[in-house]
Chains A and B, each alone.
Chain A
Amino acid sequence: MTISQKTAWAQLAIFGALVIGWAVLFTVNGTVFYWQDETMKMTFYWLLAAAFAALVVMNVVMSILKSLLKAVTDERDKAILRKASLFATGTSYTVVVALLLALAITYMNGGSDNIPVYFPLFIAIIGGVTLLLTQAIAALVMYGRKVNHA
């Protein structure tokens, strides 16, 4: 397993755990939106902060490993990462656009009073998490499939 594969697995584990944590939180609180519950709000952010802290630590560890080992990444790793990033960017843009449409529809139906002030931040967070999660999954799938350098 290359360093890039290990990075993708770690990224998947971190953001998979974050999504599961949110899912458990939503189940316990009976709502899918953190702004509807004051106690839930901080837990939502703490989970997010823990995930990003884990992401930073993981990247530092991988950078140290890369500097210690020889030939840890090559053109195939880079090609897979590039293709996975392109796919993840498209997917996260689609999710963000869908959520913005939901925001617009809510606004048109009920005016600005119906839109929580946290909603734009929620869209940005979900877009970021979708990007990193999709990138990890796409990279791991591509490692098992046929890939061209171009």
Chain B
Amino acid sequence: MPSTRINNQIRRLRFDHGEMTQEELAQRAGCTRQTIIALEQSKYVPSIELAFKIAKAFGVALEEVFQYEE
């Protein structure tokens, strides 16, 4: 499988939000902790819906969480 060109700032944003735990973010976004781990390790490319939920959990715009590399 070709490597994804979608990067994310989830790990940094968690620390910027008072060292939010993976479990807490997972609960806010409505997914499992394993999915947050996979996202941070760039092992999963989420759906648009989950991407928006994660951005909403941090209270930031989608582009601040996910970036597409040209």
**Residue B27 interfacial (CB < 8 Å):** yes
Interface size on B, residues (CB 8 A): 19
**Residue B67 interfacial (CB < 8 Å):** no
Cβ contact within 8 Å between A75 and B31: yes
Alpha-carbon separation in the docked complex, A52 to B31 (Å) = 31
The secondary-structure label for the interface of chain A is loop
Within 8 A of B (CB), among A57-93: 70-77
Interface size on A, residues (CB 8 A): 18
A104 CB to nearest chain B CB (Å): 37
In the complex, what residues of B have CB within 8 A of residue A147's CB?
38, 43-45
Cβ contact within 8 Å between A148 and B34: no
Within 8 A of B (CB), among A23-50: none
Cβ contact within 8 Å between B32 and A71: yes
Question: What residues of chain B have their CB less than 8 Å away from a CB belonging to chain A?
Answer: 1, 3-4, 26-27, 30-32, 34-35, 38, 42-47, 49-50
* 28 interchain pairs, CB-CB under 8 A: A2-B32, A2-B34, A5-B34, A71-B27, A71-B30, A71-B31, A72-B32, A74-B32, A74-B50, A75-B46, A75-B50, A76-B31, A76-B38, A76-B44, A76-B46, A77-B32, A145-B43, A146-B42, A146-B43, A147-B38, A147-B43, A147-B44, A148-B44, A148-B45, A149-B44, A149-B45, A149-B46, A149-B50
